[in-house]
């Protein structure tokens, strides 16, 4: 329900929103069609993954990071609608394989 409402609101604001965007993967010479599905892809560049859990876990951020890498996008939003306060349930995740991303914002980045 939350995904539907957010997609509708963003669409009403003029954004192009694709719900359950299929992501193909290639592995060992094979193509796996729609191996993953992105909850929301906004304007073809912002990946949004929605959760409804009491607390976000590291695996949730890693899931979004996988999606970002597969579609070669620099940033995504992880939104937990199960948080007591919605603002506390929003996390920005940056794909650290893109040189355009600031090192200060990288997920799981080890500073040398």
CA distances from 37 to 55, 84, 103, 107, 111 (A): 22, 26, 27, 21, 32
N-terminal to C-terminal alpha carbon distance within the chain: 43
Rounded average pLDDT over 38-62 = 89
Instruction: Specify whether the CB–CB gap between 17 and 10 falls below 8 A.
Output: yes
Q: Give the predicted TM-score (pTM) of the model.
A: 0.75
Residues 6+ apart with CB under 8 A from 30: none
Q: CA 91, CA 38: separation in Å to the nearest integer?
A: 16
Quick one: pLDDT at residue 98?
52
Q: How far is C-alpha 39 from the geometric centre of its chain's CA atoms? A: 8
The 10s digit of each residue's pLDDT in 71-111 is 888 899 999 887 777 777 888 888 876 555 444 444 443 33
The CATH architecture assigned to 2-105 reads: Alpha-Beta Complex (3.90)
pLDDT one-digit tens code per residue, 18-37: 999 988 888 888 888 888 89
Per-domain residue ranges of the chain: 2-105
């Amino acid at each position: 329900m939350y995904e539907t409402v957010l997609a509708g609101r963003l669409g009403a604001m003029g954004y192009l929103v694709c719900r359950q965007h299929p992501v193909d993967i290639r592995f060992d010479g094979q193509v796996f069609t729609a191996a993953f599905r992105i909850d929301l892809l906004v304007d073809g560049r912002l990946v949004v993954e929605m959760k409804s859990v009491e607390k976000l876990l590291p695996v949730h951020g890693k899931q979004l990071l996988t999606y970002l890498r597969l579609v070669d996008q620099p940033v995504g939003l992880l939104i937990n609608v199960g948080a007591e306060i919605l603002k506390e349930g929003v996390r920005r995740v940056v794909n650290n394989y893109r040189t355009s991303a600031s090192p200060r914002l990288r997920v799981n980045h080890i500073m040398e």
